């Protein structure tokens, strides 16, 4: 009997986990983010539906090329709930990514979203790494029209391997996917992680960690 209850509890827990692992389903047609309220909820509070306008569901400008004049040679233009309040509670968002020749979108992860990316222009090498212990790199070169998926949470990257500029559009399964850029999180945290700790973690001299920390 006790075993039976434990088993049922486990099943219930598993189902709860499945149901709530990602963004909850909307309980109404829409919940346009209200940027004026101080109410704190998981996501953003809803604007009064009577005050909702067509522009709450609208964003313009993904035709505009991002400025890739930066050390990595890429630029992400986001359309998340911060830019498009109508995305609140819908569990989706979009980005445009521009790449200068040989520009990279450095290794990063989205804590709350899987990502599906399509190349609109150019040749883009994409890759992601599976979790421990395999840490297998799965990588491919994409051409215009090709689509790739980065599973939720996994570290991934892109690199323009063509001659001209490259452009991609990606959709993400969160209104607010979040981005953790590995180098910035590890070497650019504020305050910094102790250099001797990172030296041991990366099995290198502390001076190399100092150098990396000075860059991020
Ligand atoms: C692009 O960014 C660089 C570096 O921040 C800046 O110097 C340049 O003026 C920007 N170009 C445009 C067209 O905004």
Residue ranges lining ligand 1, Cβ < 6 Å: 67, 69
Number of H helices, E strands in the chain: 4, 10
My answer on whether 110 and 165 are in the same domain is yes
Residue 184 confidence (pLDDT) = 97
| Confidence tier at 10 by pLDDT (50, 70, 90) | very low
* Pocket test residue of 67, 98, 103 for ligand 1, highest count of atoms within 8 A of CB: 67
pTM: predicted TM-score of the whole model, two decimal places: 0.87
* Pocket test residue of 65, 69, 75 for ligand 1, highest count of atoms within 8 A of CB: 69
My answer on whether 127 and 76 are in the same domain is yes
Host domain of residue 33: 2-54
How far does residue 68's CA lie from ligand 1's centre (Å)?
8
My answer on whether 86 and 22 are in the same domain is no
My answer on whether 123 and 46 are in the same domain is no
Strand partners, 160: 124
> Positive or negative CA dihedral for 169, 75, 31, 111?
positive
Mean pLDDT of the chain, nearest integer:
92
Please give the residue that has the higher pLDDT: either 22 or 95: 95
Instruction: Tell me the C-alpha distance between 166 and 162, whole Å.
Output: 8
My answer on whether 110 and 72 are in the same domain is yes
Length of the chain: 216
Query: pLDDT for 156-180, tens place per residue?
Result: 999 999 999 999 999 999 999 999 9
My answer on whether 7 and 79 are in the same domain is no
Q: Nearest to residue 153, comparing CAs of 173, 125, 175?
A: 173
My answer on whether 50 and 83 are in the same domain is no
Instruction: Tell me the C-alpha distance between 27 and 90, whole Å.
Output: 10
My answer on whether 46 and 66 are in the same domain is no
- 3-state class of 212 per DSSP? helix
Residue 114 confidence (pLDDT) = 98
Asked if residue 141 has pLDDT above 60, the reply is: yes
Residue 3 confidence (pLDDT) = 53
Give me the number of domains the chain comprises.
2
Query: pLDDT for 38-77, tens place per residue?
Result: 888 888 999 999 999 999 999 999 999 999 999 999 999 9
My answer on whether 41 and 60 are in the same domain is no
- Nearest atom in ligand 1 to the alpha carbon of residue 70 is 4
My answer on whether 146 and 208 are in the same domain is yes
Asked if residue 17 has pLDDT above 60, the reply is: no
Q: How many CB atoms lie within 10 A of CB 73?
A: 18
Strand partners, 116: 149, 171
What CATH number should be reported for the domain holding residue 114?
2.60.120.10
Percent of the chain predicted with pLDDT > 90: 84
Residue 40 confidence (pLDDT) = 85
Residue 22 confidence (pLDDT) = 74
My answer on whether 168 and 87 are in the same domain is yes
How far does residue 21's CA lie from ligand 1's centre (Å)?
40
Provide Rg for the chain, Cα atoms.
Answer: 21
Interior angle at CA 208, CA 202 and CA 211, nearest 5: 125
How far does residue 67's CA lie from ligand 1's centre (Å)?
6
Longest dimension (CA), the chain: 68
My answer on whether 62 and 44 are in the same domain is no
């Amino acid at each position: 009997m006790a075993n039976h209850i434990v088993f049922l509890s486990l099943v219930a827990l598993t189902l709860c986990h499945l149901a709530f692992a990602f963004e909850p389903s909307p309980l109404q047609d829409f919940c346009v983010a209200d940027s004026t309220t101080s109410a704190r909820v998981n996501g953003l509070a809803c604007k009064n539906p009577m005050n909702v306008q067509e522009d709450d569901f609208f964003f313009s400008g993904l035709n505009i090329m991002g400025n890739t004049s930066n050390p990595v040679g890429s630029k992400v233009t986001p359309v998340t709930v911060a830019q498009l309040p109508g995305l609140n509670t819908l569990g989706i968002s979009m980005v445009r990514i521009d790449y200068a020749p040989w520009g990279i979108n450095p290794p990063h992860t989205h804590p709350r979203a899987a990502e599906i990316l399509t190349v609109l222009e150019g040749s883009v090498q994409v890759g992601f790494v599976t979790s421990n212990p395999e840490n297998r790199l799965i990588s491919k070169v994409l051409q215009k029209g090709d689509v790739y998926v980065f599973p939720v949470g996994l570290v991934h990257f892109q690199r323009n391997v063509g001659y001209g500029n490259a452009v991609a559009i990606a959709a993400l399964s969160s209104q607010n996917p979040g981005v953790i850029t590995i180098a910035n999180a590890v070497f650019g945290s504020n305050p910094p992680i102790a250099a001797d700790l990172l030296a041991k973690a990366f099995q290198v001299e502390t001076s190399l960690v100092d150098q990396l920390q000075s860059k991020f």
